[in-house]
């Protein structure tokens, strides 16, 4: 399957690519060469940029391609992991973790673990998260984006991988988080516009809104415990664990919150992300729900996106939707690369190799490490070249389940229970991967979300038991690190910002009620 772009499509596509690179380089020249500016955009992000960039970096080819493939083969349940983040992950960030990140002035999420426990916990997280970013975020996104380009334009997969990585790496390495955020806002607009165009075209070809309504009789967000991929038991641990990790303890997401102007902007940014997190999965899922009526026997569900583009879009719109796909890939890659460089610099290079490094030296190391991460990500993309007929999106969730249970346990117990010790946190972090692999080996047919839940609760229990028999930190050293009711309120100096419709709570309540309605109606 491949199509030839018309001159109009190629022009639109080319203008977009040049525009992103130009905007990224321009943004990079606006900042100063300091750690705070390079890694956190100078702490100047308003709420709309925070929420927009969170979702722009989150939504990528594994959603446009992977999640669309899941929706084609499995139906409405494809939105469950996305909407579940509104209930679990973003709520954990908003109401539990966010105040501690902002009020302590952290650069990175591992810094919280260092202050709460010690250096070993910080390093354990850094290693686990870097493995996750390289093997899941960067490699898989490159692969799925390249797969679509190959399907549509017959560009070799390896060539597409290298070109996507290099183009994104140029402005990300030069400009740091400021360049990432500026380009992500452009990419979010192109992504949403391209997604809406493809949705409208698909729904129209399938018979209009009536075709979508006809599929609603099969919409389900709670599936039987026997389901091989999404059993209802996933909500007991697996979904909770992955969602809390991804949205609340993940440098990739949290870095945007850390760069907020103040705590009010940080809170409103997360709530704005909730609204986008509700809307964009619908844009991705709806065309996949009606697509079986048009293309009932696709060999691979992951080919649905290029199939729709090839068969349903006229000249001009093909280029725009392809720009939307590349926008998703580049925004996700830039965020992952920037997060890797921040952790490598702030949590490994400065603490262990060069404590007295100057601001300029720290920024230079961040740029060098970014180039290395890109090369490693390209090499690791080869792991995805041989995959089964199952949608790749499910393999990505499976991979998260290998790395994340211990991380979620470390953070949740660390912030909610003052008795948690460094030894307990390390136990949870270290046993995550071995225990996951053991369970997968013994019970290969177990749904991965059930396995993740078992590992998560086992890590929680192990952390508690070890903490009870080891010496905790003195309470004086835990001030400002343990959750309490005061964490729910803004600092006194910022409370005047939340009067009337500016109160984050009202906007949070509205989106929560909307998502809850869908879960109740389609349980």
Q: What is the pTM of this model?
A: 0.86
The interaxial angle of helices 392-416 and 238-248, nearest 10 deg, is 80
Q: Tell me 45's DSSP state.
A: B
Q: Give the tokens for residue 240.
A: 């909770």
Percent of the chain at pLDDT > 90 equals 16
How far apart (Å, rounded) are the C-alpha atoms in residues 160 and 268? 37
Judge whether residue 383 has pLDDT over 80.
Answer: no
pLDDT in tens, 509-521: 999 999 999 888 8
Mention every residue, 6+ apart, whose C-beta is less than 8 A from residue 216: none
- Percent of all residues in the chain with a pLDDT value above 70, rounded to a whole number: 93
pLDDT at 385 exceeding the cut of 70 = no
pLDDT at 236: 83
Select from 72, 141, 126 the least CA-distant residue to 396.
Answer: 141
DSSP symbol at 302: G
CA distances from 341 to 132, 137, 138, 231, 423 (A): 14, 14, 13, 37, 28
Determine the pLDDT at residue 130: 85
Q: Could you give the 3-state DSSP secondary structure of residue 263?
A: helix
Is the pLDDT score of 387 beyond 90?
no
Of residues 507 and 489, more confidence is placed in: 507
CA distances from 13 to 108, 121, 503 (A): 35, 45, 40
The residue with greater pLDDT, 371 or 490, is 371
Say yes or no to pLDDT of 328 above 70.
yes
Cβ distance 393 to 143 under 8 Å? no
Q: Is the pLDDT of residue 28 over 80?
A: no
Going by C-alpha positions, the residue among 239, 241, 259, 261 that lies closest to residue 251 is 259
Band of pLDDT at residue 397, cut at 50, 70 and 90: low
Return the pLDDT at 512.
94
- How are the residues of the chain apportioned to helix, strand and coil, as percentages rounded to the nearest 5? 80, 0, 20
pLDDT of residue 3: 59
Q: Let me know: does 241 contact 412? Beta carbons within 8 Å.
A: no
Whether 275 shows a pLDDT value over 80: the answer reads: yes
Q: Which tokens sit at 458?
A: 């086992």
- In this structure, are residues 339 and 255 in contact, taking their beta carbons and an 8 Å threshold? yes
CB-based contacts of 101: which residues, under 8 Å, 6+ apart?
Answer: 109, 112, 254, 257, 258
pLDDT digits (tens, 9 = 90+) for 424-468: 999 998 898 899 889 988 988 888 788 889 999 999 999 999 999
Q: Please tell me which residue, 36 or 364, carries the higher pLDDT value.
A: 364
Predicted pLDDT at 50: 92
What is the structure's pLDDT at 454?
Answer: 93
Longest dimension (CA), the chain: 70
Residue 167 binned pLDDT confidence (cut-offs 50, 70, 90): confident
Position 2 pLDDT exceeds 60: no
HSE value, Cβ hemisphere, 13 Å, CA-based, for 261: 12
Backbone angles phi, psi at 174, to 5 degrees: -70, -45
Query: 294, 69 in Cβ contact below 8 A?
Result: no
Closest Cα partner for 104 from 504, 417, 479?
479
The Cα 249–Cα 410 span in angstroms is 10
Q: Which two tokens stand for residue 180?
A: 């990432």
Torsion region of 41: left, alpha or beta (phi above 0 gives left; psi -120 to 50 gives alpha): left
Q: What does the pLDDT read at residue 304? A: 84
Mean pLDDT of the chain: 83
Averaged pLDDT, 137-156: 76
pLDDT digits (tens, 9 = 90+) for 180-218: 888 888 878 887 888 888 889 889 988 888 888 888 888
DSSP letters, 201-261, are HHHHHHTSHHHHHHHGGG--SSB-TT-SS-BGGGGGTHHHHHHHHHHHS-HHHHHHHHTBS
pLDDT for the residue 388? 47
């Amino acid at each position: 399957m491949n199509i030839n772009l018309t001159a109009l499509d190629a022009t639109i596509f080319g203008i977009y690519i040049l525009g992103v690179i130009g905007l990224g380089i321009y943004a990079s020249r606006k900042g100063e060469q300091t750690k705070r500016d390079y890694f956190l955009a100078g702490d100047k992000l308003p709420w709309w940029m925070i929420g927009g960039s969170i979702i722009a970096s989150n939504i990528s080819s594994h959603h446009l391609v992977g999640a669309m493939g899941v929706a084609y083969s499995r139906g409405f349940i494809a939105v469950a992991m996305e909407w579940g983040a509104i209930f679990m992950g973003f709520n954990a960030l908003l109401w539990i973790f966010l105040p501690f990140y902002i009020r302590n002035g952290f650069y990175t999420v591992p810094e919280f673990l260092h202050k709460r426990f010690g250096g070993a916990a910080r390093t354990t997280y850094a290693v686990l998260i870097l493995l996750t970013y390289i093997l899941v975020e960067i490699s898989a996104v490159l692969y799925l984006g390249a797969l679509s380009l190959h399907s549509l334009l017959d560009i070799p997969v390896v060539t597409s991988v290298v070109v996507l990585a290099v183009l994104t790496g140029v402005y990300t390495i030069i400009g740091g988080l400021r360049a990432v955020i500026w380009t992500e806002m452009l990419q979010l607009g192109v992504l949403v516009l391209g997604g809406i165009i493809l949705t409208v075209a698909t729904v129209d070809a399938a018979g209009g809104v009536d075709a979508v309504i006809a599929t609603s009789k099969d919409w389900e967000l709670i599936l039987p415990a026997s389901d091989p991929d999404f059993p209802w038991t996933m909500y007991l641990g697996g979904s909770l664990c992955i969602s809390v990790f991804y949205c609340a303890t993940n440098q990739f997401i949290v870095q945007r919150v850390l760069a907020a102007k103040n705590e009010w902007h940080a809170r409103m940014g997360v709530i704005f992300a909730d609204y986008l997190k509700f809307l964009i999965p619908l844009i991705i899922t709806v065309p996949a729900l009606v697509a079986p009526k048009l293309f009932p026997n696709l060999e691979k569900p992951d080919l649905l996106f290029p199939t729709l583009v090839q068969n349903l879009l006229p000249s001009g719109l093909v280029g725009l939707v392809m720009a939307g796909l590349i926008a998703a890939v580049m925004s996700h890659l830039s965020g992952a690369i920037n997060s890797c460089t921040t952790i490598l610099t702030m949590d490994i290079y400065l603490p262990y190799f060069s404590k007295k490094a100057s601001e300029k030296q720290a920024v230079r190391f961040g740029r060098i490490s970014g180039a290395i991460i890109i090369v490693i990500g390209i090499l690791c993309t080869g792991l995805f070249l041989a995959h089964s007929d199952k949608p790749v999106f499910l393999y990505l969730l499976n991979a998260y389940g290998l790395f994340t249970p211990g991380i979620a346990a470390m953070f949740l117990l660390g912030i909610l229970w003052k008795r948690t010790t460094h030894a307990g946190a390390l136990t949870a972090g270290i046993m995550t991967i071995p225990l996951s692999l053991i369970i997968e080996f013994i019970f290969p047919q177990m749904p991965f979300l059930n396995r993740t839940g078992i590992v998560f609760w086992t890590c929680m229990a192990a952390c508690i038991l070890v903490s009870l028999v080891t010496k905790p930190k003195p309470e004086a050293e835990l001030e400002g690190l343990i959750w309490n009711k005061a964490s729910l309120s803004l600092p006194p100096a910022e409370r005047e910002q939340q009067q009337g419709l500016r109160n984050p709570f009202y906007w949070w309540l509205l989106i929560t009620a909307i998502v809850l309605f869908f879960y109740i109606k389609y349980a």
